[in-house]
């Protein structure tokens, strides 16, 4: 819980994420837990510094589908890192050429995702379906 502290306080860190609709529809922990997690996403998306967007099923295949990518950047570009979740654990990448490829990939993913408002509507709809 301590690491969540970067999202709160006087100067919260901006956070953007794109989640595939399939992940939102999984009932990990059962219906009650899934509903609580979706409500938490809706609550968090109310913060100005947090942007949650959804890739709906209708987009079909897209570059990077099936991958979990975390792109961490900040005021010191030399510390930027891409984290790929693999079956054997996370892989951290910091080579500038690879970072540029992942930045471009994530630009495409964000351009394909629903707007934040439409994403909230879809998350709310999924919550109602549970």
CA angle 94, 98, 102 (to 5 degrees): 105
Regarding whether 27 and 74 lie in a shared domain, the answer is no
Structure confidence by residue, pLDDT tens digits, 72-130 = 998 899 999 999 999 999 999 999 999 999 999 999 999 999 999 999 999 999 999 98
Residues 121 and 82 in one domain: no
Q: Measure the CA–CA gap between 53 and 128, rounded to whole angstroms.
A: 18
Helix 31-44 and helix 116-129: axis angle, to 10°? Answer: 160
Let me know whether 27 and 76 are in one domain.
no
Within 10 angstroms of residue 114's Cβ, the number of other Cβ atoms is 20
User: What pTM was estimated for this model as a whole?
Assistant: 0.88
pLDDT tens, 29-68?
Answer: 999 999 999 999 999 999 999 999 999 999 988 777 888 9
- In this structure, the answer to whether residues 49 and 97 fall within a common structural domain is no
If one counts the domains in the chain, the total is 2
Asked if residue 51 and residue 29 are part of one domain, the reply reads: yes
Domain that holds residue 49: 1-56+114-130
2 and 40 inside one domain = yes
Measured distance CA(70)–CA(80) in Å, rounded: 11
For residue 111, give both structure tokens. 């351009």
| Residues 36 and 62 occupy one common structural domain | no
2 shares its domain with 50: yes
């Amino acid at each position: 819980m301590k690491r969540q502290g970067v999202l709160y306080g006087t100067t919260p860190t901006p956070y953007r994420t794109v989640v595939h609709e399939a992940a939102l529809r999984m009932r990990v922990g059962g219906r009650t837990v899934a509903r609580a997690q979706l409500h938490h996403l809706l609550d968090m998306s109310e913060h100005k510094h947090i942007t949650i967007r959804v890739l709906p099923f209708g987009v079909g295949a897209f570059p990077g589908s099936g991958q979990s990518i975390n792109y961490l950047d900040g005021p010191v570009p030399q510390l930027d890192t891409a984290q790929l979740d693999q079956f054997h654990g996370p892989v951290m990448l910091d080579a500038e050429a690879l970072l540029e490829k992942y930045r471009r990939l994530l630009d495409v993913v964000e351009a394909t995702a629903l707007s934040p408002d439409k994403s909230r509507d879809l998350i709310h709809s999924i919550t109602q379906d549970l």
